Amino acid sequence: MRTTGLLDLQVNGYAGVDFNTASLTPDALDHALHAMLRAGVTNCLPTLITAPEAELAARLHALDRAVRTSRLGPIMVLGIHLEGPFLNPAPGYAGCHPAAAMVPADSALLERVMAGLGTPIRLLTLAPERPGALALISWAGRRGIVTAMGHTAADHDTVRLAAGAGLSLSTHLGNALPQPQPKFLNPLIAQLAEHRLRASFIADGIHIPPHALDVLLRAKGLERSILVTDATAAADTKPGLYDFAGMRIEHAADGSVREPGSVVLAGSALRLDQAVRNLVAWGFASAEQAIAMASAQPAALLGAPLGPRSAVTWDEALTPRTVTVGDVTINNPAR
């Protein structure tokens, strides 16, 4: 089977490389992007998480330089996903993001950290209940930035207002929620009930148990569901310790990624082709549907085509055998 390549909207790092560092080099980015190609990912949005303004600006500009001056960056990177700093800092909602660096929504802050970037911010995840968030959603829309909600305690009315302002995605729906929650009046149900929102899911069997993911996919609908990895430097690597946005994270033998000694998940070690295989193996989607959730549907969210000559040839086990993007082709990439 031959399809377009996969598009990962949320990838914080890969193959030992952390994108959330001011010391990111073009060679390091190329190493990570080449490893992503082996998984059938031909396009992506490198993702930066919450940080104080000066550090966030430094990381954005390092990522931008690496994208523009690497071999694979110009043909694989469609833009940047900024997850924060306009998130909910309350315990449970903040996840592994530094709560102290979370601030009210502020377009002036975005303009400062974006100044001089050659690689655009294409996706912004925020918490719509934060002061100024609805105005920022409208501001972003006028500048071609897609907005999403995550790390949020938003109620039904706030979700409705955010969707009306132009917000269009729930980021890693089902995660970054403290326990317990009210049975029906909670951010998860509020987002599932808003039909104008697409939703992204981390289908590793760790972030969401498969039986729960089945329910969420049926509630949202496969046509409005997107597969992402939320990958960190621990993806496509052996278990061990890795760096992530100034933290140390541990890739455990069970595949989970956490700060050492913490129960809070800190991204994932998931490959996007494995997410596709998981959905098919669990009986939640056909191969064609699962691949669309990792390619055509995220591309539709961004309103942009995939990179030039983006294609993957799959074998019967849904393993990528030939991957092409631009003038780069990898044969038999599976390991």
Q: What percent of the chain has pLDDT over 70?
A: 99
pLDDT, tens digit, 9 for 90 and up, residues 64-123: 999 999 999 999 999 999 999 999 999 999 999 999 999 999 999 999 999 999 999 999
Residue 222 has pLDDT above 90, yes or no: yes
- The verdict on whether omega for the bond into residue 260 sits within 30 degrees of 0, i.e. cis, is no
Cβ neighbours for 227, distance < 8 A, ≥ 6 positions apart:
200, 201, 203, 272, 275, 276, 279, 290, 293, 294
| 230 flagged as catalytic | yes
- Residue 37 reports pLDDT greater than 70: yes
Question: 3-class SS at 51?
Answer: coil
Task: Give CA–CA dist 123/150, Å, rounded.
Answer: 12
Three-class DSSP category at 9? strand
Confidence of residue 239 (pLDDT cuts 50, 70, 90): very high
Please spell the DSSP secondary structure of 196-248, one letter per residue: T-EEEEE-SSSSS-HHHHHHHHHHH-GGGEEEE--B-TTTTS-SEEEEETTEE
d(CA 103, CA 151): 13
Closest by CA to 291, choosing from 171, 195, 203, is: 203
Positive/negative CA dihedral, 31, 315, 311, 227 = negative
Please report, rounded to a whole number, the percentage of residues in the chain having pLDDT higher than 90.
96
Number of domains in the chain: 1
17 strand-pairing partners: 14
The Cα-based distances of 178 to 3, 14, 85, 206, 331 in angstroms read 38, 27, 19, 16, 44
Instruction: State the residue range of the domain holding 115.
Output: 2-331
Cα distance between residue 33 and residue 71, in whole Å: 10
- Which CATH number covers residue 310? 3.20.20.140
The residue from 18, 30, 64, 230 that is catalytic is 230
pLDDT-derived band at 33, boundaries 50, 70, 90: very high
Which pLDDT value is given to residue 305? 75
Give the mean model confidence (pLDDT) for residues 234-252.
Answer: 97
Q: Is 245 left (phi over 0), alpha (psi -120 to 50) or beta?
A: left
pLDDT greater than 90 at residue 309: no
pLDDT tops 60 at residue 31: yes
Nearest partner of 29 among 65, 58, 60, 57, judged by Cα: 65
Residue 292, SS3 per DSSP: helix
- pLDDT tier for residue 335 given thresholds of 50, 70 and 90: low
Structure tokens at 104: 């009210």
Q: Residue 334: pLDDT above 80? A: no
- Distance, in Å, from the CA atom of 313 to the CA atom of 29, rounded to the nearest integer, reads 24
Report pLDDT digits (tens) over 170-202: 999 999 998 889 999 999 999 999 999 999 999
Q: Is the pLDDT of residue 243 over 80?
A: yes
